[in-house]
Amino acid sequence: GPDLLAIERAGSGVEVTRLSELLHTRELINKRSRVEAALIKDPTFDKTELLSMGRVEKIQRSLARGKAMKRLQEKEGWDAEEYKIAHQAAGEPTVYDLHDGMFIVTLREQGTPEQHKLFLEPAVNNKIIGCYAQTELGHGSNVRGLETTATWNQADQTFIIHSPVLTASKWWIGSLGRTANHAAVMAQLYIDGKNYGPHPFLVQIRDLKTHEPLENVFVGDIGPKFGFGSMDNGFLLFNQYKIPHVNMLARFNRVDPATGVYKRVGAPSLVYGTMVWVRSNIVLDSGSSLARGVAIAIRYCAIRRQFQDRDAEAAGATGETPVLNYKMVQVRLLPLLAATYALHFTGRGMMEMYEANQERMKKEDIGDRETVKKIRGAAPEDLNPGAEQLADLHATSCGLKALGSTIAVEGLEMCRRACGGHGYSSYSGIGTWYADYLPTATWEGDNYMLTQQVARYLLKSARAVLAGNAPKNETTTTLQFYLSRK
Amino acid sequence: DTGAAFDVLNNDADIVAAYGWRTAYLTFEALRLRDKDHQSWNSLLVHFWRLSTAQSQFLVVRNFYDAVVANPARVAGAVGDVTGEVLRDLFRLYALQTMEQHAADFFTSGAVTTNQISLARTKGISNLLDRVRPHAVSLVDAWNFSDFFLNSSLGRSDGKVYEDMFAKASSNPVNNLTFDPYVDSPVLVKRVAGKL
């Protein structure tokens, strides 16, 4: 093995260090080294036993690893990027992932300054631990179909959170099963019998001292699943559960406590910006996620010798052939190797577009209130004329998230199978990673569902091109070029 | 001479343009089906999936082109001439392989001919596999994954695949169980201290 890889490396003129720096930057590479060195020193992050653990042991271990990682973050002074690197290097999700990745983000994006003081600060300091409770047992990605209700009660100025039917149970909520003591709950807002659609509410669900569920809250873990064994995914039901007025996250919409009147106060196009950011990250990560499997499979196939090349045998050669020399292996692995680079550069381009758009939105105050009045449930391109670039970005992020994660998911399985029998061993390093990566094809929009968003945007762009009133962007330029040349 | 809109076998910019052409063709086809033929949204979902996939593949190919092909001097300055050329081979391999897998769309749209697809398959992709093969290990090394990160016997950077497989198998906890295989015995299994 060692000699064979050395021969492979010696036979290539690729400048590995410079290429690494092109992909990641020297600064990121150094950060990775520092973070991994800290993890390796801590026995909590030893990976020897992980692959033989059952679900219950995994969850217990995940809690220990999660706590250790948060302590290390403080001790080492890691920034957000270094903390993310630590998560990736640790090899498994921890029970705090949704607290860090969704709960805090939701509070930050959708809370008012007053709510930041009340909820965000303790969340950031891990004084309260939360999750983002949107999905329900009977409703996956369709947020408008949610059944949990939040009814405004003018008499004592509270909201009553209630799960009217079994299918209203929050389900699949990461970090909810056993970890969270708070939840950002999406519920249908009712005022005087009128439905105002789904809105976010901050709800305490467990006692901060005993960690027992509070009265009229029914909460627990949903059980074993494919991959993600180290995460507690939860269910949650409410029985006429009261929360104070201040617990409705009110950056964009609020209820006047004195009059009970519903008001819009912000620009929901910024929420679309968050979704675009999350999906852009998925695109960027899809390249490196696939590269994990490709790196393993290519190194192994360069070492593994099996059978003899038929023509070489006829020419009198002896010895077995490196598996990677077979065209049937090359055609499966080398295009995937190319795809890792393609996705990485695409993800980087996507992030640059996102950042440029955020800058532009800040300058132009996109989502002006005049237009916002009209747009309950509207798509981003309908928000106002200035949001066209966001619409393009939204569609692009939907389509690329779907394509990138599909390529990575299917590619990882291809890599595992290219490793032959040993690909089935957990020690290959691909199977467990594949199982943990697989949900990416479903969360943040199911990959098949998302394609409708892209098609809707393209159809709208095509109509605008035919009508002669299309905004100038890459999509419309491509469509116009086709019309002019076909 | 190509008999099609684009020379995808000899011109990298034409590869990108062919992807854009195919997307535009599928877009106007979907528009016709929806607005003129008044087909239901549900009946068009499969077409929409194909359209979205085409659009996203176009964006991936265009981004990859911009990063490694459009400005060869910049790439060579960053990674050297040899590596720059290997990256351009990776671009062609990804773009032609994806095109070959979706050949029907490209052919139907008039972006390429069947002969071009056939040549891409028999010569283009096959030659590119030969060109990329010697650099495969270096190209995955450049991802800079540590052994701690990969946690893989097969993908160890030092190549000690079989030694590591054997060591991990030997020390796995199932080997610390003592089995009582006799069916009449009430004891099934117990843990014992000690190693294999």
Single out the residue of B89, B85, B70 nearest to residue B13, CA to CA: B70
Residue contact A338–B97, C-beta within 8 A: yes
Residue contact A296–B149, C-beta within 8 A: no
pLDDT of residue A95: 97
Residues 6+ apart with CB under 8 A from B160: A1, A2
Q: A399 with A454: CB under 8 angstroms?
A: yes
pLDDT of residue A269: 62
pLDDT of residue B187: 65
Residue in chain B nearest A284 by alpha carbon: B60
Whether chain A has a CB inside 8 Å of the CB on B170: the answer is no
Choose, out of A350, A406, A478, A484, the residue to mutate when testing the contact with B (most B CBs < 10 Å): A478
pLDDT band at B195 (very low <50, low <70, confident <90, very high): very low
CA end-to-end span of chain A: 55
Whether chain B has a CB inside 8 Å of the CB on A295: the answer is yes
pLDDT of A79 higher than 90:
yes
Instruction: Catalogue the active-site residues of A.
Output: 444
pLDDT of A383 higher than 60:
no
The predicted model gives A120-129 an average pLDDT of 97
pLDDT of residue A444: 82
Count of beta carbons in the 10 Å neighbourhood of residue A267: 22
pLDDT of residue A142: 76
Residue contact B153–A425, C-beta within 8 A: yes
**Which chain B residues touch A485 with a CB distance below 8 Å?**
5
Amino acid at A349: G
pLDDT of A266 higher than 80:
no
On the 0-12 / 13-18 / 19+ scale of CB atoms within 10 A, B107 is middle
CA end-to-end span of chain B: 70
Residue contact A482–B157, C-beta within 8 A: no
Choose, out of B49, B144, B145, B156, the residue to mutate when testing the contact with A (most A CBs < 10 Å): B144
Residue contact A335–B133, C-beta within 8 A: no
Task: Tell me how close the Cα of B186 comes to any Cα of chain A, in angstroms.
Answer: 25
Residues 6+ apart with CB under 8 A from B140: A291, A294, A295, A298, A299, A337
Q: A451 with B53: CB under 8 angstroms?
A: yes
Q: pLDDT tens-digit profile of B143-184?
A: 999 999 999 999 999 999 999 999 999 999 999 888 777 877
Average pLDDT taken over every residue of chain A: 91
Q: pLDDT tens-digit profile of A216-234?
A: 999 999 999 999 999 999 9
Whether chain B has a CB inside 8 Å of the CB on A484: the answer is no
Q: State how far the Cα of A478 lies from the Cα of B83, in Å rounded to an integer.
A: 31
Question: Which sign does the torsion angle of CA B103, B107, B111, B114 carry?
Answer: positive
Q: A397 with B56: CB under 8 angstroms?
A: no
Whether chain B has a CB inside 8 Å of the CB on A37: the answer is no
pLDDT of A155 higher than 90:
yes
Residue contact B159–A327, C-beta within 8 A: no
Residues 6+ apart with CB under 8 A from A278: A444
- ipTM tops the 0.85 cut: yes
pLDDT of residue A109: 87
On the 0-12 / 13-18 / 19+ scale of CB atoms within 10 A, A257 is middle
Residue in chain A nearest B34 by alpha carbon: A459
Whether chain B has a CB inside 8 Å of the CB on A340: the answer is yes
pLDDT band at A382 (very low <50, low <70, confident <90, very high): very low
pLDDT band at B196 (very low <50, low <70, confident <90, very high): very low
pLDDT of A104 higher than 90:
yes
Q: pLDDT tens-digit profile of B22-50?
A: 999 999 999 999 999 999 999 999 999 99
